[in-house]
Amino acid sequence: MPGRWKPPKSERVDLEEELRKDELARRLAFAVEFGTEDDFVAAVKAYKPDVEKEELKAWITQFHAARREKRGL
């Protein structure tokens, strides 16, 4: 029996990763709109538990920039 066709590796989608990204986007949008920095950090750490200090600092900087933009400052 011939093997089953699979899409090339470059086109395959990891469903679990996509769900985690969607959850992150939803939580980050909520944190920017209504939450605090602590809510934002918790969302980032839930998405990427092994986040390094410098990378987390960059995420927080982006959070504050998005919040300022949202408020029109």
> 20 lies in a domain?
yes
> 9 lies in a domain?
no
Residue 23: give the domain boundaries.
16-71
Q: In angstroms, what CA-CA distances link 22 with 2, 17, 18, 26, 43?
A: 36, 9, 6, 6, 12
Domain count for the chain: 1
> 39 lies in a domain?
yes
> 30 lies in a domain?
yes
Amino acid at 70: K
> 10 lies in a domain?
no
Per-residue DSSP letter, 2: P
CA atoms of 12 and 54, how far apart (whole Å)? 31
Question: What are the pLDDT tens digits along the chain (73 aa)?
Answer: 678 887 787 777 788 888 888 988 888 888 888 888 998 898 888 888 899 999 999 999 999 998 888 887 6
